[in-house]
């Protein structure tokens, strides 16, 4: 156990149930709660701390991607369709999903404290939603993802935006945004992330002129996901430093089972991680 006092103090702030997700892999007998030899409470704390630091790095990365997708949706779609393109249901494949998005947007608009939104309604009245360049500043990442995915395929900007992220077409970006939103939600709920398998992995990118990774064995793995996040960042956020922060964190944490994260032995030889 190590220092019992330290363990008690830790458990006053981090619940026993919350920690369970971090010690399962150390069990040799889960039913009787027997651990492998040499496993101490400090080992669990170290893993918990690693996960917390890893979440913060990924959140920083996803925040940069979120800002970029907001910007590109506003710019390219407003040029092609006008600044009230969100209002026009003819721009969207599913009218039902479009109405759901509008309902979600209205909820966000009604509860936001942003001065520029309140100023808009004071000037134009409650019946006039703000144009896209204002509205998309306050909606969730999930709403952004749904709006983009539901755009009609005939809209040229849909593929243009995907290419802005070094992706072949909108099918890839739609898939990647869905995955990134899942990861972001896990992070914002402060849930365990380090060895999480993602139920909806991003669409595999087999060929690219840019540095990437070989096709991973486990496309649901966190290694797969963090590599895709890094791929997008390299396009939209020059000098982001995310790669270096992830590498340092992993290399300084020799207690981490890289296989649990889906990280191959040669990961530092993969082009995107060199």
Assess contact for 20 and 33: CB atoms under 8 A: no
Q: How far apart are CA 17 and CA 10, in angstroms?
A: 13
Could you state, in order of their start, the residue ranges of all structural domains in the chain?
4-43, 44-273
pLDDT of residue 210: 66
CA-based angle 31:33:35, to the nearest 5?
Answer: 125
Q: How far apart are CA 259 and CA 105, in angstroms?
A: 41
pLDDT of residue 197: 93
Q: How far apart are CA 122 and CA 115, in angstroms?
A: 10
Q: How far apart are CA 139 and CA 39, in angstroms?
A: 45
pLDDT of residue 244: 98
pTM of the predicted protein model? 0.90
Cα distances from 259 to residues 16, 124, 222, 223, 263, in angstroms, run 25, 56, 10, 9, 6
Segment 148-180, tens digit of pLDDT? 999 999 999 999 999 999 999 999 999 999 999
Assess contact for 272 and 211: CB atoms under 8 A: yes
Q: How far apart are CA 71 and CA 67, in angstroms?
A: 6
pLDDT of residue 44: 83
Cα distances from 175 to residues 82, 188, 189, 202, 204, in angstroms, run 26, 20, 22, 5, 9
**Enclosing H/E stretch for 29:** strand 27-29
Cα distances from 190 to residues 28, 32, 112, 161, in angstroms, run 27, 28, 23, 31
Q: Which residues of the chain have pLDDT under 50?
A: none
């Amino acid at each position: 156990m190590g220092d019992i006092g330290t363990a008690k103090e830790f458990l006053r702030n981090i619940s026993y149930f919350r920690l369970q997700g971090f010690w399962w892999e150390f069990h040799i007998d889960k039913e009787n709660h027997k651990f492998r030899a040499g496993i101490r409470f400090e080992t669990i704390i170290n893993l918990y701390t690693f996960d917390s630091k890893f979440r913060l790095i990924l959140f920083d990365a996803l925040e940069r991607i979120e800002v970029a997708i907001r910007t590109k949706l506003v710019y390219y779609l407003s040029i092609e369709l006008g600044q009230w393109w969100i209002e026009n249901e003819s721009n969207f494949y599913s009218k039902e999903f479009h109405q759901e998005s509008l309902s979600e947007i209205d909820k966000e608009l009604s509860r936001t404290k942003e001065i520029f939104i309140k100023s808009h309604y004071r000037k134009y009245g409650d019946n006039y939603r703000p144009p896209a360049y204002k509205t998309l500043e306050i909606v969730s990442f999930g709403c952004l993802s749904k709006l983009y995915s539901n755009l009609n395929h005939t809209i040229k900007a849909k593929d243009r935006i995907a290419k802005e992220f070094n992706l072949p077409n909108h099918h890839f970006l739609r898939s990647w945004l869905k995955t990134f939103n899942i990861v972001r939600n896990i992070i914002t709920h402060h849930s365990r992330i380090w060895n999480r398998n993602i139920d909806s992995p991003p669409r595999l990118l087999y060929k690219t002129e840019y540095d990437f990774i070989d096709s991973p064995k486990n496309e649901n793995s966190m290694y797969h996901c963090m590599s895709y996040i890094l791929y997008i960042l390299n396009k939209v956020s020059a000098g982001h430093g995310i790669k270096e922060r992830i590498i340092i964190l992993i290399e300084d944490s020799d207690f981490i089972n890289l296989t649990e994260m889906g990280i191959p032995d040669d990961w530092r030889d993969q082009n995107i991680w060199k």
